[in-house]
Amino acid sequence: MVEEQKGFRLSRRLLLGAALVGGAVLWGGTTMARLARGPSGPKNAGRIADIDGIALPLKPIASPPAFDPSLPWSAKGGDINDASGLSRTPVYGVVEVSEENHIAKALAFARANGLKVSLAAIRHSMGGHAFDDNALVLDLRKFSKVTVDAAAKTMTLQPGARWHDIQNLLHPRFAVKAMQSTDIFSVGGSLSVNAHGMDHQAGSVAGSIRSMRVMLADGSVTTCSSTENTDLFRHVVGGYGLFGVVVEATLDIVDNAVYRTSREIIKSDDFPKFFAEVLEPNNDIGLFYGHLSTAPGNFLEDMIVYRYDKVAEQPPADQPEIGEPEGVGLKRVIMNLAKKGSLFQELKWFTEKTLEPKFESCTVARTAAMAEGEACLVTRNNPMHDSVPYLFNDLPDETDILHEYFIPRAAYVEFIAEAREILRNQDLPVLNASVRIVHKEDVALTYAPEPAYSLVLYINQPTDADGNARMRALTRALIDVTIKHGGRFFLPYQLHYTARELLASYPELPAFLAAKRQYDPTELFSSTFYRAIKALSGVA
């Protein structure tokens, strides 16, 4: 009998242990599956409803006009949001543009009915830049035709064209000259913020524009460039969609050069010296990316420098199509685990330092290496063809927010030291930090009045009121230290800044707003962002 009781107790312990182990395995598997899962749809977590205490929502239109049946409406009423999921805004309707005449008719309808017009495509700006309360929104994603002139080395395209699709079209003969470091954006969106990316020599998108055709608020179309109608050009590029609709742009393209990839780890404080002695003098370094550690053990102290040295002007004739990102599920798990604490941040940094090089995709055959030995060779299109699917997830009640700060080059070391302390002494997870090269930009609302380095941050936050408050406090602290060192913050992101910070960073804002009213007297083109910067600048 005693033996039977012992056996029973032992069996119960075994069963309990097995249940615990099985539950842990099941929980772990379920958790990993959840962290690896892609988005089931766009996040729509509400709205940050004020800027510096000024309320942003508007009252609904008392008697909205009837919808013009000749326009291709994709939505009549309803809400719209951006990549942050925190800008949910009620709109009058959305017109799905696929031809230039749709734009002209929509503008005429808006003028006749007292509506505002906003311009949207991929909507990765994060502060209501692509829509406004009660606005007629032009969805330009299907207005995306691209033609290539091989002899002139140009492409002429409509604003809804995505860089991802453009690269597929240009490959393998040509490549994009200037764009962001990821290819998910539309050309129109890139023009509206004067985007910049991995090519530290080419600089921003502005430097690649031959000309643009722009439809103004009155429906007329004019051509502008850096040499023709230059004032309009300087306001449309980096003008956040407030001066007109770019109906067509002609941009430079370049040869799809072959690069030898390499990486090395340096100290962040040594980066200015590295740039001056290695990157800047060497015209054969075609692309560059500086990735800072976000691991607590060396937070913003170590930097992986990715460089791409040109070894040939053209790839081999049998160059394959551009591949899509690999290991998306695993990368998404690592990124999402990094939100869970310092141990996982260290794991992420370990994989970036030691594992990523072992799985590097070398897309040009070594037989074409021209005495490059065991070098890893890629074409220009390969590193620029990253749609970062691993950054997007299906996790509820949280979102990831971009920041970018531009610092005069002489102030880099001091700025990074102070930014490091600010970021260490708050609890929102910093998922990614990188450094870019920025040239002086001659546009009306410039983020770089002199050559600069930029610090790009990707930070996770809860989508509740407390998460928004913490992100607002962090943003303002980073803006203040940026201004202290003579720098500026980038405007495509959340509306967390104060009037003082905005005008200290962009003293030319009143002149920019005056030019807006000159080109668009009735303020037909509008957005939540536009109303916000007007309110902060004191313009009625």
Mean pLDDT of 494-501: 98
* E strands, 52-98, in order: 54-55, 73-76, 79-80, 89-90, 93-96
Would you call 124 helix, strand, or coil by DSSP?
Answer: coil
32 vs 78 pLDDT, higher one: 78
Q: What torsion, rounded to 10 degrees, do the Cα atoms 294, 300, 303, 307 define?
A: 90
Long-range contacts of 30-38 (CB under 8 A, 24+ apart): 32/333, 34/394, 34/395, 35/332, 35/333, 35/336, 35/337, 35/393, 35/395, 36/329, 36/330, 36/332, 36/333, 37/332, 37/393, 37/394, 38/328, 38/332, 38/389, 38/392, 38/393, 38/394
> What mean pLDDT do residues 295-321 have?
95
pLDDT score, position 487? 98
Q: How far apart are CA 345 and CA 337, in angstroms?
A: 8
Question: What local confidence, expressed as pLDDT, does residue 371 receive?
Answer: 52
pLDDT at 78 over 60: yes
pLDDT of residue 356: 83
In the chain, the percentage of residues whose pLDDT exceeds 90 is 88
The pair of three-digit structure tokens given for residue 261, joined into one six-digit string: 């990839």
In the predicted model, what is the mean pLDDT of residues 154-172?
Answer: 97
User: What pLDDT does 24 receive?
Assistant: 45
Q: Is the per-residue pLDDT at 26 higher than 60? A: no
Query: On the CB side of 438, how many CA atoms lie within 13 Å of its CA?
Result: 32
Check pLDDT > 70 for residue 362.
yes
Q: Can you tell me the distance from the alpha carbon of 75 to that of 485, in angstroms, rounded to the nearest whole number?
A: 46
- What average pLDDT does range 520-531 have in this prediction? 98
Q: Answer whether residue 28 shows pLDDT above 70.
A: no
Cis omega (within 30 of 0) on the bond before 389? no
pLDDT, position 372: 54
At 115, which helix (H) or strand (E)? none
pLDDT recorded at residue 20:
44
Cβ neighbors of 353 (< 8 A, separation 6 or more) are: 265, 304
Q: Is the pLDDT of residue 180 over 70?
A: yes
Report, as an integer, the average pLDDT of 10-35.
60
Q: Where are the alpha helices (DSSP H) in 114-186?
A: 163-170
Least Cα distance to 154 among 195, 102, 210, 112 occurs for: 210
Residue 187 has pLDDT above 50, yes or no: yes
Residue 326 pLDDT grade (very low, low, confident, very high; cuts 50, 70, 90): confident
pLDDT at position 8 over 50 = no
Is 252 within 8 Å of 202 (Cβ atoms)? no
In this predicted structure, the answer to whether residue 11 has a pLDDT above a threshold of 70 is no
pLDDT at 383 over 60: yes
pLDDT, mean of residues 261-286: 96
Burial zone of 52 (CB within 10 Å; 0-12 exposed, 13-18 middle, 19+ buried): middle
- Report how far residue 195's alpha carbon sits from residue 187's, in angstroms, rounded to the nearest whole number: 10
Pairing of strands 79-80, 89-90: antiparallel
Query: So what's the pLDDT on residue 182?
Result: 92
Separation between Cα atoms, residue 529 and residue 531, nearest integer Å: 6
Q: 324 pLDDT band (50/70/90 cuts)?
A: confident
* pLDDT of residue 388 exceeding 60: yes
- pLDDT tens per residue, range 211-233: 999 999 999 999 999 999 999 99
For 346-357, what is each residue's pLDDT tens digit?
999 999 998 888
**Residue 186: pLDDT over 50:** yes
The answer to whether 121 and 139 are in contact (CB under 8 A) is yes
106-162 pLDDT per residue, tens = 999 999 999 999 999 999 999 999 999 999 999 999 999 999 999 999 999 999 999
Mean pLDDT on 252-273: 97
Mean pLDDT to the nearest integer, 484-490: 98
Give the span between the Cα atoms of 204 and 237, in whole angstroms. 10
Band of the pLDDT at 375, cuts 50, 70, 90?
A: confident
